[in-house]
Amino acid sequence: MSPMIGFDEIRKLAQVTPSRIVLLVMDGVGGLPHPDTGKTELETANTPNLDKLAVESICGMAYTVSPGITPGSAPGHMSLFGYDPLKYQFGRGIVEALGLDIEVAPGDVVVRGNFCSVDDDGVITDRRAGRIPTETCREQCAMLNQGVAVTGVQVDFFAGKDHRFVMRLRGEGLSQNVGDTDPQHEGMQPLVPEALEPSATKTAAIAADIVSQARTILKDRHPANMFVLRGFSERPDYPSINDIYGLTPACIAPYPMYRGVSRVVGMDILPAGDTLEDEIATLKQNYDKYDYFFMHYKKTDATGEDGNFEGKVAAIEAYDRLLPSILDLNPDVVIVTGDHSTPAGLAGHSWHTVPVLLSAKYCRKDEVTAYSETACLRGGLGVFPAMELMPLAMANALKLNKFGA
Amino acid sequence: MSPMIGFDEIRKLAQVTPSRIVLLVMDGVGGLPHPDTGKTELETANTPNLDKLAVESICGMAYTVSPGITPGSAPGHMSLFGYDPLKYQFGRGIVEALGLDIEVAPGDVVVRGNFCSVDDDGVITDRRAGRIPTETCREQCAMLNQGVAVTGVQVDFFAGKDHRFVMRLRGEGLSQNVGDTDPQHEGMQPLVPEALEPSATKTAAIAADIVSQARTILKDRHPANMFVLRGFSERPDYPSINDIYGLTPACIAPYPMYRGVSRVVGMDILPAGDTLEDEIATLKQNYDKYDYFFMHYKKTDATGEDGNFEGKVAAIEAYDRLLPSILDLNPDVVIVTGDHSTPAGLAGHSWHTVPVLLSAKYCRKDEVTAYSETACLRGGLGVFPAMELMPLAMANALKLNKFGA
């Protein structure tokens, strides 16, 4: 383990130059060998363009959080953006809000909600209200938006999938330090929202008032005749990529979750469209306006989560086919990696390292000639924490001055 | 660096499942090439079973403490158990006590003692009392146990090897913050035990009283007519493996030192017998009762310490022959490694990395086909701190939930 340089030091070294960094994230790209062939998804896929790029790159295998830890999407991306994901964490409420593309301003408090079923005594009989359809959830949220009123605080309900929603409080002097109302068990009444520290007394009282109003508004809406709240959280106040690295960063990501994390680190959010072609078009149109681009590709993760080995292979091959149109822009630094592995064999995120490729004029190429888990292990970056990628990208873009005399 | 995840986070992610982890420690297994053959002890040994297991594993080379640091047995094992050995340290007194299998309860204070020779003025003439035989040491301790009396405190002397012993104080309000009486030089009188902070005043006074009583009891026992004390220490109050990981851990180790360290991290201590066959029998008998087993093999270190290259090769081969009877149990995760290297060429512990092999269903096998220093260096774990093994074992046993959303 090598000690990692801190933001304070990086700030002193960073300089603005015309060079450009493009971070290409294939979500969940790492995999595991197929039992029949012994080859991973990446090793099975025909990827002439990625392999050609690997020849011109320095490669390695990265942990995005910590050895053995299976990263969620938010910590996985924070690491790729250069932030220690164990330090720069996100509350549950904020992650849910980001995933719904809800605007969360500084000072707002958001919380994740579940509609639930309660009996005549207010005791929870189903914590998920029989997983009501999303359409019903939207109706419920509309009723609450119309019915709930708190003096001096704007309260908004945003429907999520099935029984899930987000409640946003906007006003003066709010605090995230309020306890959940979700007792995590059926057979109990929802808890009274409790101030976890004195500064949160007002917010807890507001939450209690809202809960009380909601009880009346929802009373005839069985099975979704009540709700429980979890993870009161504010938008984290983290230093921006611009502040730390002097970069002008942009995000191209079709899914709200990734846009949300990018927003927290101060990226401009560009329209991503629906397809990879759309994303590349956006990249080209905005190429002169930014010096750091994060481009997100979801299909590798989605197919992996489905346990669809062949689908993931196809998603990788589709990406490979379009890679040359990105490289045509001649970015000074290109990184290809994932935010975590999603082996089809596990049908979910996993703890395994992700292959990394960094291509740049002065990158000290290694002997790796393919972009895959086995090949990248022999690369010049070794097995390393992904949060080191950002300083490496900066260095390879010749944007970092010498440290010390 | 890998930003290593902390215990607080691990606690939130850990879940209890029926899967089992077996940690096989060949003490001091790492070595150095024999000058005649250029092969290390592991590379010289015929180890078909370890090599076969390596094929099914992810491998690497680990530092148990930190690069360049030669680990003692306690820090080497703490690292393998997932504890940062630079943070979770042991006092000298407690290490000695653990090595003698002395029961040390919370609140007890133990200290390491040497019998020494003093002249008529009480000046030390030999700090080791001419290395009196162990039998004499036992007589001395018996005399002290009979003669020393302190009101409200139970004082016990336990003989060690040669001139060494451990003194244990048991009573209310004791403190480890007492200075050594050992001046570390001959030609001086033993120091008066000094309270290093106010809370230790009582313990320092008790120690001074005991020293004074001992002077009388031992006065005719030349060359062992006095003693010096070093390293007052309490049993460290460290979080247990069960507390952190939710595991139910067991130790199978024939030597007291390893049992002692295991006890500190909350393992159940199983009868280990005298031979590796005995240890394996214990493992089999208890396999249903625990989900984490630490099994210790001493011969690789003992032969290395003796500078006996061929003996160490034979010890490795003996282990390899019995390995299949362990693997017959089909543990979900098997780790083979050492707590440090003990090259026969150095006849002692060394700072060199130790080869690691981790075998599990989803371990992402690498291209390593032998368990040795040279082969494991090409493994998927890279060169890494051994304390990362515990989260990796947990992950591979599917006992860790996802971190962050």
Is pLDDT above 50 for B75? yes
pLDDT band at B21 (very low <50, low <70, confident <90, very high): very high
Is pLDDT above 60 for A7? yes
Query: Which pLDDT score is estimated for A2?
Result: 58
pTM of the model: 0.91
Is pLDDT above 70 for B143? yes
pLDDT band at A380 (very low <50, low <70, confident <90, very high): very high
The mean pLDDT of A384-392, rounded to a whole number, is 97
Instruction: Label residue B111 exposed, middle or buried (CB < 10 Å: 0-12, 13-18, 19+).
Output: buried
Q: Residue B322 has which token pair?
A: 């019995």
Secondary structure of residue B395 in the 3-state scheme: helix
Which residues on chain B are in Cβ contact (under 8 Å) with A75? Answer: 403-404
Task: Give this complex's ipTM.
Answer: 0.90
In Å, how far is A121's CA from the nearest CA of chain B?
Answer: 33
Residues 6+ apart with CB under 8 A from A201: A195
Is pLDDT above 90 for B1? no
Q: Residue A145 has which token pair?
A: 């938006």
Query: Which pLDDT score is estimated for A96?
Result: 86
Question: Do the bridges between strand A57-63 and strand A382-385 make them parallel or antiparallel, or are there none, so unpaired?
Answer: parallel
Is pLDDT above 60 for A94? yes
Query: Which pLDDT score is estimated for B3?
Result: 64
Query: Which pLDDT score is estimated for A357?
Result: 98
The mean pLDDT of B340-350, rounded to a whole number, is 97
Query: Which pLDDT score is estimated for A148?
Result: 97
Is pLDDT above 50 for B12? yes
The mean pLDDT of A16-33, rounded to a whole number, is 98
The mean pLDDT of B242-260, rounded to a whole number, is 95
Which residues on chain B are in Cβ contact (under 8 Å) with A61? Answer: 380, 382
pLDDT band at B2 (very low <50, low <70, confident <90, very high): low
Which residues on chain A are in Cβ contact (under 8 Å) with B13? Answer: 69
Which residues on chain B are in Cβ contact (under 8 Å) with A86? Answer: 3, 5-6, 9
pLDDT for B28-68, tens place per residue? 999 999 999 999 999 999 999 999 999 999 999 999 999 99
Radius of gyration (C-alpha) of chain B in whole angstroms: 23
**Is residue B6 within 8 Å of residue A86, measured between CB atoms?**
yes
Query: Which pLDDT score is estimated for A1?
Result: 46
CB burial of A196-207 (b: ≥16 within 10 Å; e: otherwise) equals eeeebebbbebb
Q: Do B395 and A351 touch (CB under 8 A)?
A: yes
The mean pLDDT value of chain B amounts to 96
The mean pLDDT of B391-395, rounded to a whole number, is 98
Residues 6+ apart with CB under 8 A from B80: B23, B25, B64, B294, B337, B339, B386, B387, B389, B390
CA atoms of B404 and B401, how far apart (whole Å): 9
Query: Which pLDDT score is estimated for B366?
Result: 96
The mean pLDDT of B11-28, rounded to a whole number, is 97
The mean pLDDT of B323-329, rounded to a whole number, is 98
CA-nearest residue of chain B to A351? Answer: B395
The mean pLDDT of A9-36, rounded to a whole number, is 97
For helices B48-55 and B309-327, angle between their N-to-C axes, nearest 10 degrees: 60
Query: Which pLDDT score is estimated for A95?
Result: 86
pLDDT for B155-209, tens place per residue? 999 999 899 999 999 999 999 999 999 999 999 999 999 999 999 999 999 999 9
Least confident residue range of A256-260, A268-272, A333-337, B216-220: A256-260
pLDDT band at B119 (very low <50, low <70, confident <90, very high): very high
In Å, how far is B66's CA from the nearest CA of chain A?
Answer: 8
